[in-house]
Amino acid sequence: MTTLQDISVWRGNSLPPIEWTWADGYAGTAQCQLTVWRRGKRLFTVDSGAGLTIDPYGRRFIWEPTVDQSRQLPLGRLCDYELEDRVGGEQTLFAGAVIGIGGLNLDDGATQPGGSLDFSYTGNTDQELDGWI
């Protein structure tokens, strides 16, 4: 059974990690996958052992988003995620919204994307005008 749980990610940061506690009766597996998408378009996928930690003793999954992954998230509740068990068929364990909070923490000297009406910023293409919804 899928557990619905929204998560908040501080944009431009790799901390704090996001944790999901296993439901009673779940035995765990070594093959899980976290997928984050926005309006049907996949932003990124994180596999167990490559960014998604499986802690069988603490009975939890832990994801420490990379700075690049967190910068891909728009401000607000505009993305969704699924955390799936990939053994014996795909079973969605957790799902919900990804809420991008805070700024982009542009400490690498990069420039911030244009304003909310700037169509050079890819988040505002296709007449979506994120920030004006």
26-81 pLDDT, tens digit per residue, is 887 889 999 999 999 999 999 998 999 999 999 999 999 999 999 999 999 999 99
Whether residue 112 contacts residue 106, with contact meaning beta carbons closer than 8 Å, is answered with yes
Question: What does the block give as tokens for 16?
Answer: 């704090």
pTM assigned to the model: 0.77
Whether residue 26 contacts residue 118, with contact meaning beta carbons closer than 8 Å, is answered with no
**Which pLDDT score is estimated for 129?**
53
Whether residue 97 contacts residue 6, with contact meaning beta carbons closer than 8 Å, is answered with yes
Residue bearing tokens 């050079």: 120
Q: Exposure pattern of 75-91 as b/e (b: 16+ CB <10 Å)?
A: beebbbbbbbbeeeeee
pLDDT tens for each residue of 75-101: 999 999 999 998 876 689 999 999 999
**Which pLDDT score is estimated for 117?**
46
In this structure, the strands spanning 76-85 and 32-38 are: antiparallel
**Which pLDDT score is estimated for 67?**
93
Using CA atoms, how far apart are residues 115 and 25, in angstroms rounded to an integer? 48
